[in-house]
């Protein structure tokens, strides 16, 4: 009896096994790749949610500078007397003689008003009537001693030092009536006033004050 070779498997079955095996290998490869991706992602730190920037605190308001309290910032209290507005109008219009007449009427009617005599002194100094101006200022100071701090009064008295005839009256007023209130302005005048006579006389008043520190008004 002749040996016969075993029947070869049908070609279709071998091909299907190869396809199934390849698919299994591919599935394993894909699964491995997916696992590696997941592992790599899980090893990264979790993202932190960004917080919105905190609102900036509003800038603090600048504190208002306090008004200085030096004598140069002193202002008179305007006395609301009947007829004072007319006097103001005449002064503003530089009608000095008419203003003086109106102020003298007010001074006679209100003899205790320091403000009226202060205005009268200002107008007299504007007219270069030094002696009349000092007289009015002295009355204002008797009615209200605070007027010695008035910048206009101090500067007018120093301006009067230019007069060769009447500077003695104003020196006496500066020394006896204004006193310490006038010292800072006298120091400025002694250093930098454009008129040499004013510089010289202001410096002399300061030297006299140094020799007699108890003299003059305080």
Average pLDDT over residues 90-96: 95
The reported pTM is 0.65
Note the pLDDT tens digit of each residue in 153-183.
999 999 999 999 999 999 999 999 999 999 9
Cα distances (Å, whole numbers) of residue 10 to 50, 84, 168, 190: 66, 136, 147, 133
Query: Residue 133: which of 173, 94, 106 has the closest Cα?
Result: 173
Mean model confidence pLDDT for the chain: 76
Through-space distance between the first and last CA atoms of the chain, rounded to whole angstroms: 158
Average pLDDT over residues 62-71: 33
Q: The domain containing residue 172 runs over which residues? A: 77-211
pLDDT band at 196 (very low <50, low <70, confident <90, very high): very high
Reduced to 3 states (helix: H, G, I; strand: E, B; else coil), residue 195 is coil
Are 148 and 188 within 8 A, CB to CB?
no
Whether 27 is covered by a domain: the verdict is no
Q: Which residue has the higher pLDDT, 113 or 8?
A: 113
pLDDT band at 217 (very low <50, low <70, confident <90, very high): low
The pLDDT score that the predictor gives to residue 18 is 44
Whether 66 is covered by a domain: the verdict is no
Whether 33 is covered by a domain: the verdict is no
Q: How many domains does the chain have?
A: 1
Note the pLDDT tens digit of each residue in 14-45.
444 443 344 443 343 334 434 443 344 444 44
Whether 6 is covered by a domain: the verdict is no
The pLDDT score that the predictor gives to residue 24 is 41
Among 9-13, 201-205, 209-213, which stretch is predicted with the lowest mean pLDDT? 9-13
Whether 109 is covered by a domain: the verdict is yes
Note the pLDDT tens digit of each residue in 104-149.
999 999 999 999 999 999 999 999 999 999 999 999 999 999 999 9
Whether 59 is covered by a domain: the verdict is no
The pLDDT score that the predictor gives to residue 23 is 43
Q: Could you tell me the CATH number of the domain that includes residue 170?
A: 1.25.40.10
Whether 19 is covered by a domain: the verdict is no
Categorise residue 58: left if φ over 0, alpha if ψ from -120 to 50, beta otherwise.
beta
Whether 183 is covered by a domain: the verdict is yes
């Amino acid at each position: 009896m002749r040996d016969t070779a075993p029947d070869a498997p049908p070609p279709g079955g071998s091909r299907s096994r190869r396809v199934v095996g390849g698919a299994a290998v591919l599935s394993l490869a894909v699964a491995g790749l997916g696992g590696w991706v997941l592992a790599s992602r899980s090893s990264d730190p979790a993202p932190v949610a960004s917080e919105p920037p905190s609102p900036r605190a509003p800038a603090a308001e600048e504190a208002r500078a306090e008004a200085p309290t030096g004598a140069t910032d002193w202002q008179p209290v305007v006395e609301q007397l009947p007829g004072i507005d007319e006097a103001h109008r005449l002064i503003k219009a530089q009608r000095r003689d008419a203003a003086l007449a109106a102020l003298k009427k007010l001074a006679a009617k209100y003899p205790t008003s320091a403000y009226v005599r202060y205005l009268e002194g200002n107008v007299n100094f504007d007219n270069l009537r030094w002696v009349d101006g000092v007289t009015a200022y002295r009355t204002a100071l008797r009615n209200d001693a605070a007027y010695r701090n008035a910048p206009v009064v101090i500067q007018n008295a120093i301006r009067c030092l230019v007069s060769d005839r009447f500077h003695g009256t104003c020196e006496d007023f500066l020394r006896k009536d204004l006193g310490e209130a006038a010292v800072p302005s006298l120091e400025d005048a002694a250093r930098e006033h454009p008129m040499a006579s004013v510089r010289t006389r202001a410096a002399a008043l300061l030297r006299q004050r140094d020799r007699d520190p108890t003299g003059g008004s305080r």
